[in-house]
């Protein structure tokens, strides 16, 4: 029954987001006649990849419950990117350096998971601390200066197109989203993740390793941040020690807007993908319409607050008083 309820709620959220996206597109097309141009619509998908990768990772972390969140993903992106750039500058092949950047992201995510899952430290405090730590290392090894350029062939990933579709969308974001969707919907790992996020005590009693599960979520999140570093460096042809900073709050926004409950156990990859579409339409349309960036930030903040309200109202309505008390007790633990 619970699985059906989660699936039904996720489906409703996706439909709601599709309607919102269409409504925003209609309004923005009136504000800017260039918005609905097919070339523009396909090109703005480039802006969705970085926040998309970080948002997918954030979705997994929050889904695992226990107050899961990662404020350091932007700093992981930045540090992975500048180390990759330094390696290329010292003669390392850019393909090998790209794999290394993803590995660095994975290692940093594992560190977060070790402190949070195994040492049982609060995720908010740990990732806030590692955000400062990773960010300061990135600034220190570059003296605060962006590193460039990369080899011309490296730009194919971030700047190239296959027909009208950007390579970074077709070969990075879409495959990763599909893989995560399959894992979440079709595998035992996905079922265990929802079980841990819904009620970690019950999950532990049936033999699921809650600690290992939550550690793995931070590891995957770090890996996705490392991949995002590769895409961003290829797209901009530079690696900045502060490149990931603007994307942290956006990644949380798309996860929550997509229907992921901040208490864990509810959410979907499809919902997050549609939320990425909505945020990309909003930001790109506002820029084309020359709307002040302050209004853009305020709109994102409003969307985040409304999303939390809708998520939690639906969650409370679906729970019996006894189950609600049990989940609150589990969250406190």
Domain boundaries, the chain: 2-326
Q: What is the 3-state secondary structure (H, E, C) of 8-69?
A: HHHHHHHHHHHHHHHHHHHHHHHHCCCCCCHHHHHHHHHHHHHHHHHHHHHHHHHHCCCCCC
Residue 311 tokens read as 């998520």
Question: Is residue 320 packed enough to be buried (19+ CB in 10 Å), middle (13-18) or exposed (0-12)?
Answer: exposed
pLDDT of residue 316: 66
Per-residue pLDDT of the chain (333 residues; tens, 9 = 90+): 445 444 454 447 788 888 888 888 888 888 877 777 777 777 778 889 999 999 999 999 999 999 999 999 999 999 999 999 999 999 999 999 999 999 999 999 999 999 999 999 999 999 999 999 999 999 999 999 999 888 889 999 999 988 888 999 999 999 999 999 999 999 999 999 999 999 999 999 999 999 999 999 999 999 999 999 999 999 999 999 999 998 998 999 999 999 899 899 989 999 999 999 998 888 887 777 777 777 877 887 887 788 778 776 766 666 555 554 554 554 444
**Best CA proximity match to 117, nearest among 78, 70, 76, 77:** 70
pLDDT of residue 326: 52
* Beta carbons of 245 and 136 less than 8 angstroms apart: no
Collect all residues with Cβ–Cβ distance below 8 Å to 92 and sequence separation of at least 6: 100
HSE, side-chain direction, 13 A CA sphere, residue 276: 28
Fold of 2-326: ABC transporter involved in vitamin B12 uptake, BtuC (1.10.3470)
pTM, 2 dp: 0.88
**Best CA proximity match to 282, nearest among 303, 267, 261:** 303
């Amino acid at each position: 029954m619970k699985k059906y309820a989660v699936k039904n709620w996720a489906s409703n959220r996706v439909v709601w987001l599709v309607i919102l996206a269409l409504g925003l597109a209609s309004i923005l097309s009136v504000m800017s006649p260039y918005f609905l141009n097919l070339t523009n619509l396909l090109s703005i998908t480039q802006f969705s990849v970085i926040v998309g990768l970080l948002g997918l990772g954030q979705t997994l972390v929050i889904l695992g419950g226990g107050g899961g969140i990662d404020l350091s993903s932007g700093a992981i992106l930045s540090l992975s990117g500048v180390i990759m750039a330094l390696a290329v500058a010292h003669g390392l092949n850019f393909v090998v350096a790209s794999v290394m950047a993803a590995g660095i992201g994975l290692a940093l995510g594992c560190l977060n998971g070790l402190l949070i899952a195994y040492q049982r430290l609060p995720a908010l405090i740990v990732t806030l601390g590692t955000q400062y730590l990773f960010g300061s290392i990135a600034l220190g090894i570059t003296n605060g200066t962006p590193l460039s350029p990369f080899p011309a062939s490296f730009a194919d990933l971030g700047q190239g197109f296959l027909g009208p579709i950007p390579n970074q969308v077709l070969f990075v974001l879409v495959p990763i989203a599909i893989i995560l969707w399959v894992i979440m919907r079709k595998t035992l790992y996905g079922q265990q993740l929802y079980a841990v996020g819904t009620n970690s005590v019950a999950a532990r009693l049936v033999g699921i390793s809650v600690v290992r599960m939550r550690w793995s979520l931070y590891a995957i999140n770090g890996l996705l941040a490392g991949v995002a570093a590769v895409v961003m460096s290829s797209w901009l042809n530079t690696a900045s020690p502060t490149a990931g900073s603007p994307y942290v709050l956006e990644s949380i926004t798309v996860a929550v807007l997509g229907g992921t409950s901040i208490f864990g156990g509810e959410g979907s990859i499809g919902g997050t993908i549609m939320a990425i579409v909505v945020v990309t339409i909003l930001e790109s349309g506002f820029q084309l319409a020359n709307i002040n960036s302050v209004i853009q930030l305020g709109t994102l903040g409003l969307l985040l607050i409304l999303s939390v309200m809708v998520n939690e109202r639906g969650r409370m309505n679906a729970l019996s008083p006894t189950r609600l008390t049990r989940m609150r007790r589990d969250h406190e633990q």
